[in-house]
Each structure stands twice: as C-alpha cells, then as structure tokens.
Amino acid sequence: MSSLPFSFIFLCLLSTQCLLVCSSTLQDPEIVVEDVHSINNASRRQLGYLSCATGNPIDDCWRCQHDWEQNRYRLADCAIGFGKNAIGGKNGKIYVVTDSGNDDPVNPKPGTLRHAVIQDEPLWIIFKRDMVIKLKQELVMNSFKTIDGRGASVHIANGPCIKIHYVTNIIIHGIHIHDCKQGGNADIRDSPHHSGWWTVSDGDAVSILGGSHIWVMLLGHSDSYTQDKNMQVTIAFNHFGEGLIQRMPRCSHGYFHVVNNDYTHWEMYAIGGSAAPTINSQGNRFLAPNLRSNKEVTKHEDAGEGEWRHWNWRSEGDLMLNGAYFRESGASSHSFARASSLNARPSSLVASMTTSSGALNCRKGSHC
C-alpha cells in the first residue's frame, strides 16, 4: 500500500478520514446492519440529539459532544461494518506520548509512541502536544491499542511507518501518516519481553498481516497467502483525492465492501485486486481523470480475462462522472452478501458525508 495521511480508525498524503474495518471471521451481514442501527440509535437517545447531520454514522456517534476529551473511550463504540467489534485500548489506561524523538527500535524510551504500542496491557494512546514522529524502523504494534490523535496535530512521516502483524483489536484515529519509507533488516521490539529480526518492508503506511478486529490499503499481503480468503473489510466515508495513484484499495482474496467513498482523483486506477477477491462497490462517487486511458475505476491484476471474468466485482448505486466506468465481473449474489456490512446511502450524499474527512482539528472544550 502506498503512503496515505490516515484518520484511521486504514491509512493516508492526503488527509483522509479513512475507515477501514477488518474481521478475520465471516458474519451475517443482516446482523451487522441491525447492530449498527441499534448502537447508533441508542447513542443518539442517550445524548439527546437526533444526529450531527453529517450522515456519517461514525462522526454522528461522538463529534457532537463538547467534552469528547473526557470520554475518549466512546470512540470505540462508534465502529461500524465488519470491524465493529474492535475495541482497541478501551479497557486500559490512558498513555500520554510526550517525546516525539529518541526513537529506539530495540529499547524504546518511556513517553515515546514506540514504548506505548509494544506494551502487553490495553492502552489508549494520546499525545501531549503537536508532533512529527520520524521512526527509525517500523512501529510494530501489540494487541489492544488505540492511537488517538484528537486534540493534537500528529504526523508519522519521513521514515518507516506502522506494522500490525498477528495482533488483534487495533484502532488508529486522527493522525496523519505520509511519506513512508522502507525499513527492516533490523532488530525491532514488539513486546516488553521480545525483539526480533524483521526483513525489509515495502514502505507502506500500514501493513496488516494475520490480524483481526482492526479499525483503521494493499489488503491481503500476498496472493499465495490463502488464509486471507476469510478476510472481510469495510472501507467507508473516505475522500481519495489529489496525490493518489492507485490502491484505494488493492485487494487480494477476501470480501470487500467499498461504500460511500468520494474518489476525486486517481492516476492508474482506484480499486484493484488479484487472487479472486469479492468487491462490492455501493454508493460511491467516482470522478475520472481527464486522461482518456485512465477512466476505468477498476483493475483486475495478474490474471487474464478468462480468469478474472469469474471474480465477483459489482458496482451498485455508484455515481460515475467524467467518463468513469467500473468493469463488473462474476455473478454470485451469495458472495456479494458476504461482502455487505452496512446499508449504503445514496451516492448524491457522499460529498456531505465525507466533507470532514481527514484528521480533524479537535481542541479541548469544543466540538471536534
């Protein structure tokens, strides 16, 4: 995955509020939808308002509160889609990052982001002030962590970025991740009790392998890794714009629900895949570039037409502008049911739903 700024609750040089929610186990999509509506309706009754009127159920869940900083854990109740059960560090203590430098990949200093993310216990990680964090090696995360950038301008940039491997319950929200570089061929600590040798990385903003309940975009790290066939991913309420070339997302194996996103720029393609992923695109807006050869939204990778025409890819209710087109394939309605995680809203509403995409300018004592 290429570097992206991230408001991930999955990842992001433009400042997108990316929502990528993943689950390694298949769920009944109707139950998922019912749970989403139940949680959001209960939240609105409790707070005494109908909606913040954004149409984005994640924002509407928490942004109306003046005292959001006094109840940061509430964010963990706002996840939707296949990753709705991600709790991050909700059951742990607050950890305040005070030191943006002194990154030691093997013996991290207390007060640094690296020291926070490797701990064994659940932690909700926040930042004392605005900071730019340049990592010397990838930030290898332990389970049950939330990185919450609200209230500060936090950038992870100009070095290796984040690795989420074989851990569970991660939320990354309200930070910028960009200009990521390759790392690896080095020792990196991944827990208080273990460090090990990590091979060269691709320079991705966030690399996910073998995880579950991740709320945070090459999805599926290798065509040969068949365990990714059980992966379910929701990508919703993002703005993909200037500076992005491809992989929004790029899918390998698994089931992908791409819903209510605003695509205003790409250079090669917007949504790609290999190894027969199922892609359900609903309620998105696609504005094609002016170059005639790049109007296609999709790219079927590493396969001839005789193979990819059997892959289940569909576009439903998407708005195609400036000659954009989505090359559909396959036909299995059962497979699309397994790639459905929430009700898509009309594509005409996408602009209003994504108007606040990106790491928000949140200040204590006021609406975010």
State the catalytic residues: 247
Please give the DSSP secondary-structure letter assigned to residue 41.
H
Please give the DSSP secondary-structure letter assigned to residue 208.
E
Residue 365: CB atoms within 10 Å: 9
Grouping H, G, I as helix, E, B as strand and the rest as coil, residue 142 is coil
Cβ distance 298 to 265 under 8 Å?
A: no
Region of 332 please: left (phi>0), alpha (psi -120 to 50) or beta.
beta
Hey, CA dihedral for 79, 85, 86, 89, is it positive or negative? positive
Radius of gyration of the chain (CA): 19
Please give the DSSP secondary-structure letter assigned to residue 112.
B
Alpha carbons within 13 A on the beta-carbon side of 317: 17
Distance CA 257, CA 285 (A): 14
Structure tokens at 330: 């396959």
Residue 338: CB atoms within 10 Å: 20
